[in-house]
Chain A
C-alpha cells in the first residue's frame, strides 16, 4: 500500500470540512484517498465502494483519526465485507473520541499551556512558550504517525492494538500532572498580574473571581466563562462612565 506520507499530511487537515452531518467524514475520505489508490487497479468496483465508505459519517478525536483511516484502508485491501467495515468504523468513534479528549483536550493541552504560563510568570518569557509549542507539535505529529502505522498494521484488530498501547495508560495518568500544572499556573499568573496593581487591584480581582466562581457553581449553564467575562467588562465600563473622578 502506497501513499502513506500523503495520507499522513492529509490527516493534519482531517477536520477541514467539519459538518454536523458527517463530522470528520469528508476529511477521513480525503486522508484515505492516497491509501486506497492502488485498489483502483486491483478492483475498480471495490475501490469505488471503499471511497464511498471512507467519507461517510465519522467522529473521533482528530489526532487519533489515523488509527481508523489506516485500519479501515487495510480492511478494504483484505477484502472484509463492506457492511462489516461500516460497523467497525462506527464502533471506533466512541473509544477514539473519549481517549483523545482525555489525553489531549483535557490533559496535554491545558498542561502544556499551564507550563507556558508558569514559564512566563517566572520570567522565562518567550522561550518557555516556544519550547511548549514545539514540544506539543512534536508529540502531536508522533501520535498521528503512530496512529496511521498502527491502524495499517492491525486492520480490524486495531482495538486490541490500542488496548495494548500507551494510550489507555496515558489517559488514566495524565490528569494529575495536568491538574497540578494548571493549579500552579493559576496562582502564579494571578500574582504576576496583580502584585504590580497593588492591594486595590487584588481586591477587585478577588471579588470578581469569587463572583465568577459562585455563578459557575450556582448560576446554571447560562453563565459561561465568556459571558461572565463580557458581563465583567460591561459592568466595569458602566462604573467607569458614572463614577466620580477627581
Chain B
C-alpha cells in the first residue's frame, strides 16, 4: 500500500462500480463482498488480505436474499473499505477489524439504498405528467438521473468507508490476543449467518438433506487437508 492519491482514487472508483452493480448495472456479482474486497486488496497490494476479509463478509452476505422491495445491507462498498483496513496487517487481527468496519458500513449502505429508492419515487412522481405524453426522452432522462444518483450514492458510501478505514489504520494493530478473539467471534457470527440463510432457503425438503451432506463433506475435507 502506497497511500497515494491514485490508489485512493482507484479504490473510490472501484467502490462506485461495485455500488452500482448491486442494483442498477450490471448486476454481475461485482458487489459480492468476496469479489469487491479481493479486487480492493489487489489494488492496495495485498490481495490475500482482501480475499480473507471478503470471505468473512461473504458469509454474512450469503444470508441476504435481495428479492423485490426487501431491505438488505449493502456489502460491496463496505468490503472495499474493509480490505483497505485489513491490508498489510497480520491476518488474524486485520480480518476482525476489517470485518467490523465492513458490517458497520454495510448497514450504512443498506440505509442509503432505501433513501435512494424513496428519492427515485419522488423523481418519478414529479415527472408523472411528462410520462403520460409518451415521449421516450422523458424515460431516458429519468433512467440516467437514476443511474447518476446511484453512482453518487455509491461514491459517498465508499468514500466514508475508506475514510473510516484510514482512521482505523491508526488504531491498528490492536494487541494480538483481542484481535484474534474479534476475528474468531466474527467468523462464528458469519457461519451462523450463512447457515441461517442456507437453512431458510432449504426449507424441509431435499435441499436440506443436501445442505447437511455438504456440511459433512466439507468438514471431512477440512479434516483431511
Give the residues in chain A near B212, CB-CB below 8 Å.
183
Number of residues from B at the complex interface, CB < 8 A: 107
Give the residues in chain B near A51, CB-CB below 8 Å.
134-136, 139
Is there an interface contact between B146 and A189, defined as CB atoms closer than 8 Å?
no
- When chains A and B are docked, how far (Å) is the Cα of A226 from the Cα of B208? 23
Is there an interface contact between A19 and B196, defined as CB atoms closer than 8 Å?
no
27 contacts between A and B (CB under 8 A): A15-B23, A17-B124, A20-B117, A23-B69, A51-B135, A109-B29, A113-B34, A114-B62, A121-B222, A122-B225, A129-B35, A177-B210, A178-B201, A183-B211, A184-B215, A185-B218, A187-B222, A193-B183, A194-B184, A196-B92, A197-B92, A197-B184, A205-B184, A216-B192, A229-B189, A229-B190, A235-B185
Q: Could you tell me which B residues sit within 8 Å of A by CB distance?
A: 23-30, 32, 34-35, 38, 42, 47-48, 51-52, 55-56, 58-69, 73, 92, 95-96, 99-100, 103-104, 106-107, 110, 117-118, 120-121, 123-125, 131-136, 139-140, 142-147, 150, 174-175, 177-178, 180-198, 201-202, 205-208, 210-219, 221-223, 225
Tell whether A213 pairs with B192 under 8 Å between CB atoms, given A15-B23, A196-B92, A229-B60: yes
Chain A interface residue number, banded: 35 or more
- When chains A and B are docked, how far (Å) is the Cα of A220 from the Cα of B152? 35
Give the residues in chain B near A206, CB-CB below 8 Å.
188
Is there an interface contact between B34 and A186, defined as CB atoms closer than 8 Å?
no
- A96 CB → nearest B CB, Å: 12
With CB as the reference atom, state the residue of chain A lying closest to B52.
A193
Give the residues in chain B near A196, CB-CB below 8 Å.
92
Give the residues in chain B near A180, CB-CB below 8 Å.
210-211, 213-214, 217
- B164 CB → nearest A CB, Å: 13
